[in-house]
Amino acid sequence: MVLSDFWFLVAFTVVIVGLLVVDLVVINRDMGAPNMRQSALWCAFWVSLALLFSVYVFISRGRTAGLEFLTGYIIEYSLSVDNLFVFFMLFTYFAVPAAYQRRVLFWGILGAFLMRGTMIALGAALIKQFHWILYLFGAFLVFTGFKMLRSGDEEVEPEKNPVVRFARQRLPITPSYVGEKFFVRQGRALLATPLFIVLLSVETTDLVFAVDSIPAIFAVTQDPFIVYTSNVFAILGLRSLYFLLRDMATRFHYLKIGLSVVLMFIGVKMLVMDIFKIPTELSLAVVATVLSTSVVVSILRPRAEPHELPVEHAAEASGASPQLSAGRAEE
């Protein structure tokens, strides 16, 4: 990466974080969970911002870079939608009131910036030194896609998360949610709240998904500039998209099949890249067609709503009492 790209990305990150802070702290500070109209407007804003940035990439870097950005953005955004369904199950599992979910998602997104930025820098450095790592990435994506295709709908089990288990064993935790706070002070002691345990679950879940998504974008391009910016724009609108899709979480049940096919396709693309280079235009067309088909089929062939987790079970998972979750969930 040239020095000018580095400083551009620093300024880019500062502007993006500033927009997120304005979104949470200034505009939505006292609004609680946004309604569908507000979420739709914010989704449209973030997507429009990504499309405007793609125009900049087309103009400043050329057609190939512009197509790579769009392809990478669509892949990462689609994989992020799958993240949202897992977040929905986590919030249900922990019985998190809707008004508190907004703050967890905000800090989860900021954490995702840091984690993905680090993983992208590490991946780019490894690829530059060891070209054969691309074959490992390709094989991993084919394996992940096949595993996703066979797994179907998996239950969320935060109690098996080693980070969550460690936090529950080592940290003093309040018996109930304390507003939107992650930590509270009682006398001289600093206590974590169950909301902090939820945040840990969200962050570690995003890290697991990043292990799939980062190799996927390197199948499209090895340009760190394109990899980083497409990832950032893909996760920018997650919070608004979550609230927009929250009540429709089960409608896109064929999306996981579409994502598994996409992962296997880009894995194969990476494996054969030194024998036959699949054009970016074809990759974009395949990704868009597979994902849009999975969404349309999901709408045309809906399935019954799954049963939600009992509130008492959610309380046990967070280390809180059943009375906590039952009372707070009614707020």
Q: Examine residue 176 and state whether it is found in any structural domain, yes or no.
A: no
Q: Are 225 and 120 in contact (CB under 8 A)?
A: no
Q: Are 263 and 145 in contact (CB under 8 A)?
A: yes
Tell me, what's the pLDDT at 325? 39
Q: Is residue 191 part of a domain?
A: no
Q: Which whole number is the average pLDDT over 170-181?
A: 85
Residue with tokens 């995702």: 112
Judge whether 194 lies within some domain. no
In tens, the pLDDT along 93-126 reads 888 887 788 888 878 877 777 777 788 878 877 8
280: Cβ contacts below 8 Å, ≥ 6 apart: 64, 67, 68, 71, 220
The answer on pLDDT for 324 being more than 60 is no
pLDDT of residue 158: 66
**Helices within 62-190 (DSSP H only):** 63-93, 98-129, 133-151, 162-170
95 in the Ramachandran plot: left (φ > 0), alpha (ψ -120 to 50) or beta? left
Structural domain including 287 reads 3-152+210-329
- Does position 2 have pLDDT exceeding 60, yes or no? no
What does the block give as tokens for 187? 């006398």
- Residue 196: inside a domain: no
Beta strands in 139-197 (DSSP E): 183-186, 189-192
Q: What is the pLDDT of residue 330?
A: 37
Average pLDDT estimate for 231-253:
73
| Residue written as token pair 């994502």 | 259
Query: pLDDT of 46-105, one tens digit each?
Result: 899 999 999 999 999 999 999 999 988 988 887 777 677 777 778 878 888 877 888 888
pLDDT value for 58: 94
Instruction: Please tell me whether the overall predicted TM-score, pTM, comes out greater than 0.75 for this model.
Output: no
DSSP 308: P
The confidence score (pLDDT) of residue 51 equals 93
Q: Which residues contact 6 (CB under 8 A, 6 or more apart)?
A: none
For residue 318, is pLDDT > 80?
no
The proportion of the chain whose per-residue pLDDT surpasses 90, expressed as a percent, equals 6
Confidence of residue 313 (pLDDT cuts 50, 70, 90): very low
Is residue 223's pLDDT more than 80? yes
The answer to whether residue 39 is domain-embedded is yes
CA distance 3 to 304: 53
Residues 6+ apart with CB under 8 A from 331: 97, 99
- Counted domains in the chain: 1
- In this predicted structure, the answer to whether residue 32 has a pLDDT above a threshold of 60 is no
Asked if residue 51 is part of any domain, the answer here is yes
Strand partners, 30: none
Q: DSSP assignment, residue 304?
A: P
Q: What pLDDT shows up at residue 328?
A: 39
Domain assignment present for 309: yes
A 10 A CB-CB count for 12 gives 16
Q: What mean pLDDT is predicted for residues 276-281? A: 81
